Amino acid sequence: EQKVQIHRGLRDVLIDRTRSSFIDGDVGKLLYRGYNIDDLATKSTFEETIYLLLYSELPNREQLDAFDAELRANRALPEEVLSVISITQKSHPMDVLRTAVSALSAFDPDTEDNSAEATLRKGIRLTAQASTIVAAHARIREGKQPIAPNSSLSHASNFLYMLFGEEPDPRDAKLMDKDFILHAEHGINASSFGARVTASTQADLHCAVTTGVGVLKGPSHGGAAEEVMKMALEIGDESNAAAYVADLRSKGGRVMGFGHRVYKAVDPRSIHLMDDARDLGVRKGQPGWYSILEAVAKVMEPYSRRGICQNVDFFSGAIYYLLDIPEDLFISIFAMGRIPGWTVQVMEQFDNNILLRPRLLYVGEMDVEYVPIDQR
């Protein structure tokens, strides 16, 4: 066999430089444009954080107001896209989101313009439109009318409003906002890599975001939050946690919400969500879900020695659940938060583009003789 090195899964392979986010997986540190996620999660808003990501610096008041106004002005969907959502309503919400994002390319004035300015405009529009897609679909599939966006509400607050039809408790809106901040950007994760591969062929942002949504859907990536909540429901009571995990592990199963390709310490995003999940459970009179997850985390403690620690998805599902959000919308919420991150990654790719085209080592048969079909 040829002597070549294969980097399966591209583990630890650096494919380019980035100025967008920094992850130190050994200590569990995450920075967006140099700013610590702990500061952004506790002091910033989603609007301000994504301004930082998209424009590389924190906005002043005037810049933030103008940016926020642009987001609010772009929330509505063309009637045709609402029809697409209606036609595909039986699909998983991520499939509907993927299809609707793709369909939006037909109505965007900048679709095939790959300049930095146009890509930024499209990223802002898609960020605004995605929450309307997710909320509209959630209602349409229940036979309800979609609720038009309310431009007097923040991004997070408006999402909950469009989903439930009433203005949310500001504490719930704040949690949603923080959750979006925590999901906004994360280096060259699988979906951002997918978006970059698409951009590297000089396809446009709608193609790249459609790719990102598709890649995010899997349970190894964005789908874990939904799986964690399913696990908590199955466990049912904290006293069953140890037996459940032991049984799962004896069958070779993985505990969802644990493990990460880069973090070998606790994912710093999960720490914020852990406190929030606990407090929200108490506030909603349902502290049991947090207790179950806490019990699972306790059983998983020994795994931390092998670098398998809780990740962002471990507590996010419980928060969405306690906010009454249907389980199959969990990944879509991750996607809504991540669109600015995909946009930044695509802009970086365009800025210094090289076709992303690795190679595979062929290990099949060679020079096989072709036998005509009637002689086989």
By CB under 6 A, is residue 336 in contact with ligand CMC? no
| Residue 51 CB contacts under 8 Å (≥ 6 apart), including other chains | 58, 59, 63, 64, 67
Residue pair 168/160 in contact (Cβ under 8 Å)? The answer is yes
Active site residue 206: no
Which of 98, 121, 141, 260 binds ligand CMC (CB under 6 A)? It is 260
Active site residue 186: no
Residue pair 188/18 in contact (Cβ under 8 Å)? The answer is yes
Helix (H, G, I), strand (E, B) or coil at 352: coil
Residue pair 72/125 in contact (Cβ under 8 Å)? The answer is no
The Cα 78–Cα 84 span in angstroms is 10
In the numeric block, which tokens belong to residue 97? Answer: 């989101």
The least CB distance from residue 325 to ligand CMC, in Å, is 18
Which of 126, 256, 274, 336 binds ligand CMC (CB under 6 A)? It is 256
> Please, which residue, 149 or 194, has the CB nearer to ligand CMC?
194
Q: Which of 179, 204, 267, 313 is catalytic?
A: 313
The least CB distance from residue 133 to ligand CMC, in Å, is 20
Which of 244, 258, 289, 320 binds ligand CMC (CB under 6 A)? It is 258
Q: Which residue is nearest to ligand CMC (CB)?
A: 259
Site size for ligand CMC (CB under 6 A): 18
Written as one string, the DSSP assignment of 14-55 is --S--SSEEEETTTTEEEETTEEHHHHHHH--HHHHHHHHHH
The least CB distance from residue 260 to ligand CMC, in Å, is 5
Selected range binding ligand CMC among 23-31, 124-132, 259-267, 367-375, rule: CB under 6 A:
259-267
Written as one string, the DSSP assignment of 229-252 is HHHHHHH-SGGGHHHHHHHHHHTT
| Residue 15 CB contacts under 8 Å (≥ 6 apart), including other chains | 188, 193, 356
The Cα 203–Cα 112 span in angstroms is 8
Residue with tokens 């469009």: 162
The least CB distance from residue 267 to ligand CMC, in Å, is 7
In degrees and rounded to multiples of 5, residue 368 shows phi and psi of -75, 140
By CB under 6 A, is residue 313 in contact with ligand CMC? yes
Residues 61-100 that bind ligand CMC (CB under 6 A): none
The least CB distance from residue 258 to ligand CMC, in Å, is 4
Selected range binding ligand CMC among 107-115, 133-141, 252-260, 316-324, rule: CB under 6 A:
252-260
What is the helix (H) or strand (E) element at residue 141, kind and residue range? none
Residues 189-248 that bind ligand CMC (CB under 6 A): 189, 220-222, 224
Selected range binding ligand CMC among 40-48, 92-100, 206-214, 310-318, rule: CB under 6 A:
310-318
Strand partners, 32: 21, 35
Which of 74, 114, 211, 311 binds ligand CMC (CB under 6 A)? It is 311
Selected range binding ligand CMC among 23-31, 70-78, 250-258, 272-280, rule: CB under 6 A:
250-258
Residues 105-164 that bind ligand CMC (CB under 6 A): none
The Cα 129–Cα 123 span in angstroms is 10
The least CB distance from residue 21 to ligand CMC, in Å, is 12
The least CB distance from residue 312 to ligand CMC, in Å, is 5
Residue pair 205/233 in contact (Cβ under 8 Å)? The answer is no
| Residue 141 CB contacts under 8 Å (≥ 6 apart), including other chains | 89, 90
Q: Which of 183, 206, 260, 272 is catalytic?
A: 260
Q: Applying CB under 6 A, which residues contact ligand CMC?
A: 9, 189, 220-222, 224, 254-261, 308, 311-313
Tell me which residues are annotated as active site: 260, 313
